[in-house]
């Protein structure tokens, strides 16, 4: 029963994230390898729905070629610069 409850909770979170990705105008992909599914599908769903995709990551990922803007750097460094 606990496993089912946890699975439902995770499934619900993934569905909510997918819905948000499909409805956003700007999708920020920050500090991820873009390899772990189902989360790795979210930026692609946002792109397909017409969102602008910005990637912030120290290294190139499979998502980099699809991003409108790909910024190389750590999340802490890049986001600190954005806030200033």
Q: Which tens digit of pLDDT belongs to each residue from 7-52?
A: 567 788 889 899 999 999 999 999 999 999 999 999 999 999 999 9
**Count of domains forming the chain:** 1
Query: The domain spanning residue 44 has which CATH number?
Result: 3.40.50.1220
Where in the sequence is the domain holding 44, given as residue range(s)?
2-83
pTM (predicted TM-score): 0.84
Give me 32's structure tokens. Answer: 């991820």
pLDDT above 70: residue 70: yes
pLDDT above 90: residue 84: no
Place of tokens 């991003």: 67
């Amino acid at each position: 029963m606990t496993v089912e409850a946890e699975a439902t909770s995770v499934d619900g979170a993934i569905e909510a994230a997918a819905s948000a990705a499909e409805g956003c105008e700007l999708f920020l992909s920050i500090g991820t390898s873009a390899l772990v599914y189902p989360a790795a599908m979210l930026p692609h769903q946002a792109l397909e729905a017409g969102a602008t995709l910005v990637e912030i990551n120290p290294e190139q990922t499979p998502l980099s070629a699809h991003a409108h803007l790909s910024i190389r750097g750590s999340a802490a460094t890049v986001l600190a610069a954005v806030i200033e």
